[in-house]
């Protein structure tokens, strides 16, 4: 089940509590000869995604419509399609309303939104399929009160760059509230504004890049269902923009999440979809990352032949990267990133020597602190696997020092994993590093 953010948004607009809505529905039901005994707990279940039975959805529209002095449809309250786990494809305008409702619920820290689990199977695949296949948006223009200008687009692009740098330095937990607040206060009014088709495509592209950052921050905060919904939103915005390269970038984020969730076959399929559908719009940096993640997936699946083939493709693509010719979004593919991805694939295949060579090369290449922590963690793990405990202890110490001050659940996961491997080696050098990690982990997020 996906949280019903539209119902949540309308409830908030109406200024009615969960218990108040339940009481009004019971009263409206009695007027129709129905004996209803709903309480606030039922409303909480509806907000989590459960569909009310029988005529209750219509009663909700009636109660809230009277409160707001306007007619509401089932689609307006997120209950337009009974019996399906996911709403059907809607108009772009309808999508905007659903998207902005999610931003609002996130900013207000709604538990049923933040704590939602990631979807798997068909619901996870449909957004990627819809991005790759027709129909396209023939016209994304909109009539609204505020005319969108190039200055507005420049503001959105600058915000995306700002929040990306903040995420890299401080982590997703510290950054998420800020980027979501910006989406609500600055971006939502623009999407509901007035713009022609060309301006609209640029607006949807700029918004897609910003929403992707919100998804990254949610992923880094361990809110995987929320992160997935942001990525799906960014993918829909990319389709509306007509920029296949942006869509491929968003799918790369979904591949990263699939790897974390150990959905390796899904990761391979998603990466293949991005490589196939983006075609000439895919850049060497993004291609290199997608092939490298495919290599990691194949290695986890035990398919060494396919993993090595993807490693070769990733390295070939990496040689063609020209930083000045890449879009802002692919700036995360820094020198050494492919090396560390390849090192992880080789480690899974059991080729420790080659894995250490790639990890050492990655660590020896300049990177922002966040990326460096992940690289040092991988090198520590490989050094331990090779029995080089003294070197692993020193590498782990550097990793821990780099991680200090970052509010990131993913980095804490990395530190915990490294600490477990260090403790298992039972030697003085690794024990000291493990104690240092313990101290870092005691600092609350």
pLDDT in tens, 392-432: 999 999 999 999 889 999 999 999 999 999 988 878 878 98
Tell me the C-alpha distance between 60 and 62, whole Å: 5
When pLDDT is cut at 50, 70 and 90, the band that residue 70 belongs to is confident
Taking 70 as the threshold, does the pLDDT of residue 87 lie above it? no
Cβ neighbours of residue 398 under 8 Å, at least 6 residues apart? 376
pLDDT, tens digit (0-9, with 9 covering 90-100), for 142-196: 999 889 999 999 999 999 999 999 999 999 999 999 999 999 999 999 999 999 9
The residue to which tokens 């083939």 are assigned? 309
Q: Which domains does the chain have, with CATH numbers?
A: 1-73 (1.10.260), 105-354 (1.25.40), 368-445 (no CATH)
Distances (CA, A) of 88 to 7, 59, 95: 16, 22, 10
Residue 426 or residue 64, greater confidence: 64
Please state the rounded mean pLDDT for residues 112-131: 93
Tell me the C-alpha distance between 3 and 402, whole Å: 37
Taking 70 as the threshold, does the pLDDT of residue 84 lie above it? no
Buried b (16+ CB within 10 A) or exposed e, 370-407: bbbbbbbbbbbbbbbeeebbebbbbbbbbbbebbeebb
Tokens representing 29? 């039901």
Distances (CA, A) of 385 to 183, 255, 371, 372, 388: 45, 27, 22, 20, 8
Predicted TM-score of the model (pTM): 0.86
Tell me the C-alpha distance between 378 and 399, whole Å: 10
| Closest among 221, 167, 227, 208 to 371, alpha carbons compared | 167
Alpha helices, H only, 15-149: 18-31, 40-48, 56-68, 92-107, 111-114, 122-132
């Amino acid at each position: 089940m996906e949280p019903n953010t539209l119902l949540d948004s309308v409830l908030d607009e109406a200024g009615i509590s969960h218990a108040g809505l339940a009481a009004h529905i019971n009263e409206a039901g009695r007027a129709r000869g129905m004996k209803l005994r709903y309480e606030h707990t039922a409303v909480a279940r509806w907000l989590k995604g459960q569909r009310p039975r029988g005529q209750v959805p219509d009663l909700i529209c009636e109660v809230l419509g009277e409160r707001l002095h306007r007619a509401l449809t089932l689609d307006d309250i997120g209950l337009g399609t009974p019996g399906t786990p996911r709403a059907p494809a809607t108009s772009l305008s309808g999508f905007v309303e659903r998207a902005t409702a999610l931003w609002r619920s996130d900013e207000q820290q709604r538990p049923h939104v933040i704590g939602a689990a990631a979807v798997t199977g068909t619901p996870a695949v449909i957004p990627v399929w819809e991005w790759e296949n027709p129909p396209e948006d023939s016209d994304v223009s909109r009539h609204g009160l505020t005319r969108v200008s190039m200055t507005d687009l420049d503001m959105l692009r600058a915000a995306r760059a700002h929040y990306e740098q903040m995420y890299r330095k401080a982590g997703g937990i510290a950054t998420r509230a800020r980027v979501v607040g910006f989406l609500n206060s600055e971006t939502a009014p623009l999407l509901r504004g007035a713009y022609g088709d060309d301006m609209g495509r640029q607006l949807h592209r700029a918004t897609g890049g910003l929403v992707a950052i919100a998804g990254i921050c949610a992923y880094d905060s361990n809110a995987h269902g929320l992160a997935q919904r942001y990525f799906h939103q960014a993918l829909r915005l990319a389709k509306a923009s007509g920029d296949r390269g942006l869509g491929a970038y968003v799918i790369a984020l979904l591949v990263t999440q699939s790897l974390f969730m150990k959905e390796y076959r899904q990761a391979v399929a998603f990466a293949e979809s991005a490589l196939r559908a983006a075609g000439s719009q895919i850049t060497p940096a993004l291609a290199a990352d997608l092939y490298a993640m495919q290599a990691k997936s194949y290695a986890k699946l035990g398919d060494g032949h396919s993993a090595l083939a993807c490693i070769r493709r990733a390295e070939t693509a990496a040689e063609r990267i020209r930083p000045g010719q890449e879009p802002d979004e692919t700036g995360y593919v820094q020198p050494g990133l492919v090396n560390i991805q390849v090192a992880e694939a080789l480690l899974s295949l059991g080729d420790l020597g080659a894995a250490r060579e790639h990890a050492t090369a990655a660590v020896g290449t300049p990177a922002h602190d966040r990326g460096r922590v992940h690289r040092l963690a991988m090198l520590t793990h490989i050094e331990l696997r090779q029995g080089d405990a003294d070197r692993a202890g020193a590498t782990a110490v550097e990793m821990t020092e780099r991680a200090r001050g970052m509010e990131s659940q993913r980095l804490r996961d990395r530190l915990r994993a490294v600490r477990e491997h260090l403790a298992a080696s039972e030697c003085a050098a690794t024990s000291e590093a493990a104690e240092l990690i313990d101290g870092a982990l005691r600092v609350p997020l």
